Structure 1
Amino acid sequence: MDKILIVDDEAFIRENLERILGEDGYQLFGCDGPKSALQIAEQEEIDLVLLDLNLGAASGLDVLQQLQAVDPDILVIIITGYGTVESAVQALKMGAYDYIKKPFKSDAIRLIVKLALEKRSLQREIRRLRRRSEADLLEQANMVGSSPQLLEVVHQVEDVAQHDTATVLICGESGTGKELVARAIHNLSSRQRQPFIEVNCGSLPFNLLETELFGHEKGAFTDAHARKIGLFEEANGGTLFLDEIGEMDMALQVKLLRVLEDRKIRRLGGNRNIDIDVRVIAATNCDLSEAIQEKTFREDLFYRLNVFPITMPPLRERRDDIPLLLDHFLKRYSREFNRPVREISAEALGLLSRYHWPGNVRELRNMVERICIMHRNEVITPDMLPVEVRGPAPQQNVTLDWVLPPQGMCLESMVEELETKLIRQALDMTAGNVAKTARLLNLARGTLRYKLEKYHLLDESS
């Protein structure tokens, strides 16, 4: 049953409207002022408001804005008397559905109300279909969540998947799901039955990455005992995902740019070009514009890759998705490890929702997996959470309790000792990744490399 709110300070008008509309079976609510109108709108899911523009000392335009703040999609029909038509037109500009002048006829009221409620019903059906469409799209993309930030990414994935030659650059912090986005683009495109091949550009040195990408002919170098087909050829017809593109050597960036421009590759030691049909998707968790300034990434390659940019939001910016992700991972790992864990206590969920998640979705997934391995409880409680989640947020500033001894000290050696300890800790936290360590310490990569050499820490970095 449709719910209609009538707001008019004249009891005769309210009673007349209630009599007319009551015959059509609507559920009616009547009031004479803004305060009671807002209370009813907050407590009931009102479908339509009949609002008088002149509510004594109150302005109907102000009430219109307040009602829209409660429900942005609420439909409002303005009731206006002689001399207030200009205000009614202003109300239309503010989002009112329509207006009707006093005195009004029963048939006119019934018709305008019927049309307004048909629009409301159509709006709801469109939203329902959109939600179902988005749910289907999320399922196809193998993504979990319902936040506006994630839905925006999913719609971008859907758009670019239809254009299967456009290069895509996916940016975002480590652990946000950039590979998942790349796979979704491939799986929703016409290339879905062809290979999806990934390579981490930061995990291989220049020579190995070059031969992995382009292949080589027999005898191209000392250990080339047989021909090797490169990943570009293996991915022909499909998608090549270049993860950590910001870590690629500058010399190799030149070759990649040529391939993207010409759609041809040449194996190492080869003497002929090979045509390829490959969509290239690149991903990075570093700021490529900063890398361009530092002369570690080519500007022309950046623009060639950045045809269709997608940014994955960090988990702390899509906290509404945390309960859905928790449920997804709980079902997965409780089944995998045959554990009874099914629920999360309200207190534990509150802690998880407030945590800053530096490792993003990957950190959340790993935490749930660890809990399912270690515990047999049915409900996750705060004591089962990692200490960093249970405790206060980590402090940004390093505090020192050193005291200058009476005999003095060598300041330079103490500073070097502190720098060495902090760099080692950062390397441990990033598994030796130089680019991530530089960002963690807020250093330029060149400065960090100098310090790694100075303190003989190169063997501890990758």
Structure 2
Amino acid sequence: MTTPTPVLFIDDELAMRVSVTQWLQLAGFAAERFETPERALDRLSPDFPGILVTDVKMPRMDGMAVLARALERDADLPVILVTGHGDVTLAVEAMRRGAYDFIEKPFAPDHLVAVIRRACEKRRLVLDNRGLRRRIGGAAGIEARLIGVSRAMDDLRREVLDLAATSASVLIHGETGAGKELVARCLHDFGPRAAKGAFVAVNCGAIPDSMAESELFGHEPGAFTGATQRRAGKLEHSSGGSLFLDEIESMPLALQVKMLRALQERTVERLGSNKPLPVDLRLIAATKVDLLDLSEEGRFRADLYYRLNVAELHIPPLRARAEDIPLLFDAFVADSAAHHIRDPRPLDADDVDALQAHDWPGNVRELRNLAERHVLSVGRSSVATLLRRRPVGGVGGDGAAARALSDQMDAFEKRVIEQALDRCRGDIKAVMDLLDIPRRTLNEKMARHSLDRARFLPRG
């Protein structure tokens, strides 16, 4: 079961304290009531896992003073003000000073709960980010490179470290922008070859066919017009280390034959030479398509595929690990802010909603681009606004506008249930409580989305 989020409620009226805390407890929060602010403020610490809700008009210390004292303890703590009709102007001023939101009396209990849920989610994200920064700042390990708290990223990091210790060829599968080169670099950097040789990256799709053989295998003087001096190719240059061939599906068929021979013989011959040169390299290839399908169409050699595919890694698309999106975005914002000498801009609840509702066809590369635009945007545009301004002909338009609304709703529902299963570690009762749905409904939705509870159970 997940631990209920603490909500500290301050109000000098007993009836209000009792009714609000009872309602919040029924809604699943660990609500506590306080007549005066001092005891509530004593509960606060920089990593307090909950939020603070306070009345504005109180005899000993008003809500503005409570807000200032709370933000001294933690500038990111969500503080919600409960105001009377005449206090709205004061509440708006409090929001300028850092309050999360305000609620005007009389209020509907459901509205209060909805605002508090959003504030608690923001608090959880802030604390997740802090934990991530501590891990990144405290070590140069793989968690500092492959960022994420999702089960999918935990599995990927474990698989990378396991394969990094070997010299086996690895084929990396992933969509455009998913981070295939970063994973390849980790395979090299966290293995023994990092101390012996270089990591050499080649994008096969970016090399003209006429230059591909020379680029990969090198050439001797006079091998072709313009070849005035000897040049080592990428295979030779990566000897002792690792060679990464991105978009391997773009390699010309004629060159695939020579590549297969080089991998089998562990030698290369420069263009214009008959002398074989020994090479000791680890080959890492990446593709965004199914190479077996290409081989059946005669566009990729099956024998080369089996030589490359000794071990496989699959990088999950960003949309399949939505819980990692705010953490990654925050890390990219911090990097971009430091690069451009700007203050990093924090996310609000609407920003988080926009990030997690988007489909991310460009994956991590698209997210990094959005983070930089967020840092540089004029007029402090919201994340949702920046997403709507994506270039025409680029990655998408208004989210996934080309997709049917029903498809988008299904995809969002699946992500929400996946996140709940992951957060509750496969505990169905906890998921039912978290999502507030009956067991039969949850079972039907899990079956419709092909979600297996066993995937989310703790490993023994």
TM tier, smaller: 0.5 to 0.7
Q: How does 1:254-273 map to 2 (within 5 A)?
A: 254-273=257-276
Counterpart amino acid of residue 181 in structure 2:
E
Deviation of 1:384 after TM superposition, in Å, equals: 4.2
Match of 2:401 in 1: 394
Confirm or deny: 8 A CA contact 2:358 2:399 kept in the other structure. no
Confirm or deny: 8 A CA contact 2:173 2:313 kept in the other structure. yes
Q: How does 1:116-135 map to 2 (within 5 A)?
A: none
Paired residues, number: 271
**Distance in 2 separating the partners of 1:386 and 1:264:** 52
**Distance in 2 separating the partners of 1:132 and 1:372:** 24
Match of 2:310 in 1: 307
**Distance in 1 separating the partners of 2:270 and 2:384:** 56
1:247 and 2:250 matched: yes
Confirm or deny: 8 A CA contact 1:175 1:360 kept in the other structure. yes
Deviation of 1:374 after TM superposition, in Å, equals: 2.4
Match of 2:120 in 1: none
**Distance in 2 separating the partners of 1:356 and 1:231:** 36
Deviation of 1:132 after TM superposition, in Å, equals: 7.6
Offset from partner CA, 1:166-200 (integer Å, 9 cap, x none): 10100110000000000001000111132111111
Offset from partner CA, 1:79-129 (integer Å, 9 cap, x none): xxxxxxxxxxxxxxxxxxxxxxxxxxxxxxxxxxxxxxxxxxxxxxxxx9x
Match of 1:292 in 2: 295
RMSD over equivalenced CA pairs, Å? 2.8
Deviation of 1:140 after TM superposition, in Å, equals: 5.7
Offset from partner CA, 1:253-300 (integer Å, 9 cap, x none): 011111111111111111211110100100111221221121100011
**Distance in 2 separating the partners of 1:216 and 1:207:** 13
Question: 5+ unaligned residues in a row in structure 2: which ranges?
Answer: 1-24, 31-130, 391-395, 405-460
Match of 1:161 among 161, 164, 168: 164
Could you say if the C-alpha distance between residues 383 and 202 of structure 1 is closer, same or farther in structure 2, counting changes exceeding 3 Å? Answer: closer
Deviation of 1:368 after TM superposition, in Å, equals: 1.1
Scaled by the length of structure 1, the TM-score of the pair is: 0.55
**In percent, how many aligned pairs have the same letter?**
43
Match of 2:217 among 214, 219, 233: 214
Counterpart amino acid of residue 180 in structure 1:
L
Counterpart amino acid of residue 187 in structure 1:
D
1:230 and 2:237 matched: no
**Distance in 2 separating the partners of 1:395 and 1:315:** 19
Confirm or deny: 8 A CA contact 1:167 1:308 kept in the other structure. yes
Match of 1:177 in 2: 179
Offset from partner CA, 1:218-275 (integer Å, 9 cap, x none): 1112222111111111111011110100000001001111111111111111121111
Confirm or deny: 8 A CA contact 1:340 1:376 kept in the other structure. no
Question: 5+ unaligned residues in a row in structure 1: which ranges?
Answer: 1-38, 45-127, 398-462
**Distance in 2 separating the partners of 1:391 and 1:221:** 50
Confirm or deny: 8 A CA contact 1:345 1:381 kept in the other structure. no
**Distance in 2 separating the partners of 1:141 and 1:363:** 20
Scaled by the length of structure 2, the TM-score of the pair is: 0.55
Deviation of 1:215 after TM superposition, in Å, equals: 0.6
Deviation of 1:338 after TM superposition, in Å, equals: 2.0
**Distance in 2 separating the partners of 1:146 and 1:251:** 43
Secondary structure (helix, strand or coil) at the match of 1:192 reads: helix
Match of 1:60 in 2: none
Could you say if the C-alpha distance between residues 369 and 278 of structure 1 is closer, same or farther in structure 2, counting changes exceeding 3 Å? Answer: same
**Distance in 2 separating the partners of 1:303 and 1:148:** 29
Which one has a bigger Cα radius of gyration?
Answer: 1
**Distance in 2 separating the partners of 1:244 and 1:309:** 15
Counterpart amino acid of residue 142 in structure 1:
R
Counterpart amino acid of residue 179 in structure 1:
E
Confirm or deny: 8 A CA contact 2:354 2:383 kept in the other structure. no
Could you say if the C-alpha distance between residues 364 and 381 of structure 1 is closer, same or farther in structure 2, counting changes exceeding 3 Å? Answer: closer
Could you say if the C-alpha distance between residues 219 and 323 of structure 1 is closer, same or farther in structure 2, counting changes exceeding 3 Å? Answer: same
Could you say if the C-alpha distance between residues 252 and 381 of structure 1 is closer, same or farther in structure 2, counting changes exceeding 3 Å? Answer: closer
Match of 1:51 in 2: none
Match of 1:319 among 309, 317, 322: 322
Q: How does 1:38-49 map to 2 (within 5 A)?
A: none
| Worse overlay, 136-145 or 250-259 | 136-145
**Distance in 2 separating the partners of 1:204 and 1:344:** 40
Confirm or deny: 8 A CA contact 2:143 2:157 kept in the other structure. no
Counterpart amino acid of residue 206 in structure 2:
S
Secondary structure (helix, strand or coil) at the match of 2:256 reads: helix
